[in-house]
Structure 1
Amino acid sequence: MQRLMRYLPLIAPVLLWAVPCWLLLYAGQHWPFPVTLTGTALCAAGLVGMPVAMVRGHGKRQRDRAAIVGDTLLGAVWVLFTWSVLLGVLLRLALTVTGVGDGQDRARTVTWATLGAAAVLLCWGCAEARRVPRVRRLDVRLPRLGAGLDGTRVVLITDTHYGPLDRVRWSARVCETVNSLEADLVCHTGDIADGTAERRRAQAAPLGTVRASRARVYVTGNHEYYSEAQGWVDLMDELGWEPLRNRHLLMERGGDTLVVAGVDDVTAESSGLAGHRAHLAGALDGADPGHPVLLLAHQPKFVDRAAAGGVDLQLSGHTHGGQIWPFHHLVRLDQPALAGLTRHGDRTLLYTSRGTGFWGPPFRIFAPSEITLLVLRSPGAAVPTAEAPAG
């Protein structure tokens, strides 16, 4: 198994390009030779060009144009692979059962249907990835929340992933949307960007315009640790955000208190940066155990520790909701939740955002981005609209 994982980066691109090439060109279609030759040449060019562009774009050279090409090819071939397999089996079976056409007609129908479906999904997915996310609103009842804090408005953004594509205008529009929600607390749960704070400063700068009546708080994500995490912590501090690096602050209203805590990402300790690690006990040190706790942690899988530590609500991102279907099945192998509100143990709720931006391939397919408004409710409050947590 370890040997297979070692060679996976070499095997995966071959499968991603070879499978659709075979299913669309050779599996009974009998295209004219120029068509077969052209299609095969395009697949071969993609097989060679995609890894080269990815290495140039995301390796030591950090060439943004190469990254855009590599990421786009990766997203396109993933969609083509997925739908060539699905339609290659299901549509061909349906056509065979219904007796439509002969073998060659059915094979060519599958090819055209696959290419059409992929083109539509990629155009739609590109528009979905680059639009300003819709606001998702839900009321969250916390049994230990005092009546004085009922109605507290928490806005969550996460996984903005400022990167090779210049999204300064998009960033500004996201911040305008956040400001329209009149939040008490605005949270960013990490993965601000792909690249150092120096390289992505212009895209991140609009975060300095975000308004909140109480606080703007931030925790690191795993991608910060690929790009000089301390630089991002310093920049967020400069922009007026409070990095909650294994510490907490108190929100008080009407005689009641909410502990707002944050931890570094779970990958922080392996980064080798001094003082960076996920440390819940440190984050809650000095907090009254009788007060409800809102915890920011980038990855949902931290919820096991949060539940053991008596946290009431954990806010996370990281999963992107899968970003490009059906990648969510792989995400679920690593994380306890994909998106939405879930319950863990007797007390702890976890809200997992699908993310505000996108990573890598500039597509979102069946996994829309979001800006989340969570309205915290005390036990006796009337909740106009509620989302029941899954078990």
Structure 2
Amino acid sequence: MHSLLSGPLSIEQLTVKIAGLPASLQGKKLVQMSDFHYDGLRLSEAMLAKAIAASNKFNPDLVLLTGDYVTTDPEPIHTLALRLKQLQSQAGIYAVLGNHDLYYKHSRSEITNSLTSIGIHVLWNEIAYPWGKELPLVGLADRYSREYHPASLMNQLDPDTPRIVLSHNPDTAEFLQAWRIDLQLSGHTHGGQIIFPGFGPMLLCHKKIMQNIPTKVRRRFPCLRRKSLVISHWEWAQGLHKVGNNQLYVNRGLGTYLPGRLFCPPEVTVITLQGE
């Protein structure tokens, strides 16, 4: 994807407070990357190289990848894995899959095997402990998968234990309010790609307009029937949000679909953990 359509890479830096964060984890740095859509069209080699170099520059304690490595055909994952092999992280690299990583029946296994071969830990309804039992890392199956059953995982954790959750689709934050989630990292939205300053993502504006059109009118026009595009909660399209008692951060992703990005640059996120 030409840089004129995607815009320059943006490095977003923020501090996230976590109640009960152990002293040993104060100041730990996480890097999040998401939605590569590495298929020869939606992510340039130059943009990918800049993202990897930016991540390494921060010498992160943990690198977290939140899905959609390819678009349809899983074959490009093998080339992407060679690029991602350059990522550096003190405590490892962890990943979850997105809906595009499940496009074909063999997609999940091919993508998982390729990422695993370069040392990336792919979590599919799994709990990992990169820093020990004091801060579990939960990786959920994609929201659209039949295997999306977060309760079986979340109920294994002590409610007094802080935790970070990786879940590709930010809509899951609504359901996950049933449990303590100190920080949920998601992608999927590409930030909305087209942002109207003062109004928000184009598709959020579309949703609001649809809500004001009478149901009888929408039924007569097929193009107006669809209530939700990509996600339901477009108000969570990007950035840090409070969802009940939980915190959600949505990364704008690196890949770009046509017609391109407007006021919504591709993103690498650097998060510093702080106690509360």
1:317 corresponds to 2:187: yes
Contact 2:170/2:187 (8 A) holds in 1 = yes
Residues 214-234 of structure 1: per-residue CA shift (max 9 Å, x gap): 121111111112142221111
Q: Which one of 228, 236, 240 corresponds to residue 341 of structure 1?
A: 240
Residues 314-365 of structure 1: per-residue CA shift (max 9 Å, x gap): 000111111124533247851251111111112x10001111222x316211
Q: Tell me which residue corresponds to 2:171.
A: 301
> Which SS does the other structure have where 1:198 is aligned?
coil
* Greater percentage in strand: 2
Count of equivalent residues: 244
When residues 331 and 160 of structure 1 are mapped into structure 2, their CA distance, relative to the original with a 3 A threshold, is farther
Contact 1:167/1:203 (8 A) holds in 2 = no
Q: Tell me which residue corresponds to 2:212.
A: none
Q: Tell me which residue corresponds to 1:36.
A: none
Q: Tell me which residue corresponds to 1:186.
A: 63
Q: Which one of 121, 124, 136 corresponds to residue 245 of structure 1?
A: 124
Alignment of 1:67-86 (within 5 A): none
When normalised by structure 2's length, the TM-score is 0.80
When residues 186 and 210 of structure 1 are mapped into structure 2, their CA distance, relative to the original with a 3 A threshold, is same
Alignment of 1:81-160 (within 5 A): 126-127=3-4, 129=6, 131=8, 133-160=9-36
When residues 196 and 263 of structure 1 are mapped into structure 2, their CA distance, relative to the original with a 3 A threshold, is same
Alignment of 1:45-64 (within 5 A): none
In 2, Cα distance between equivalents of 1:252 and 1:301: 28
1:327 corresponds to 2:224: no
In 2, Cα distance between equivalents of 1:331 and 1:158: 24
Look up the equivalent residue of 2:16 and give its one-letter code: V
Cα deviation, residue 286, structure 1: 4.2
Query: Identity of aligned pairs, percent?
Result: 29
When residues 142 and 250 of structure 1 are mapped into structure 2, their CA distance, relative to the original with a 3 A threshold, is same
When residues 288 and 252 of structure 1 are mapped into structure 2, their CA distance, relative to the original with a 3 A threshold, is farther
Contact 2:69/2:77 (8 A) holds in 1 = no
In 1, Cα distance between equivalents of 2:207 and 2:11: 23
> Which SS does the other structure have where 1:209 is aligned?
coil
Q: Tell me which residue corresponds to 2:112.
A: 233
In 2, Cα distance between equivalents of 1:177 and 1:197: 26
With CA pairs under 8 Å and 6+ residues apart, which has the higher RCO, 1 or 2?
2
Q: Tell me which residue corresponds to 1:213.
A: 90
Contact 2:97/2:141 (8 A) holds in 1 = yes
**What's the RMSD between the two structures over aligned residues?**
2.3
In 2, Cα distance between equivalents of 1:249 and 1:163: 29
Contact 2:91/2:131 (8 A) holds in 1 = no
1:367 corresponds to 2:264: yes
Q: Which one of 252, 272, 290 corresponds to residue 160 of structure 2?
A: 290
> Which SS does the other structure have where 2:174 is aligned?
helix
In 1, Cα distance between equivalents of 2:261 and 2:81: 21
Q: Which one of 251, 263, 272 corresponds to residue 353 of structure 1?
A: 251
> Which SS does the other structure have where 1:175 is aligned?
helix
Contact 1:296/1:316 (8 A) holds in 2 = yes
Which of the pair has more CA radius of gyration?
A: 1
The answer for unaligned runs of 5 or more in structure 2 is 196-200, 209-227
In 1, Cα distance between equivalents of 2:169 and 2:155: 21
Q: Tell me which residue corresponds to 1:263.
A: 140
Look up the equivalent residue of 1:235 and give its one-letter code: S
When residues 178 and 246 of structure 1 are mapped into structure 2, their CA distance, relative to the original with a 3 A threshold, is same
Residues 152-199 of structure 1: per-residue CA shift (max 9 Å, x gap): 111100011112327334323321211111111111100111133324
* Greater percentage in helix: 1
Alignment of 1:22-37 (within 5 A): none
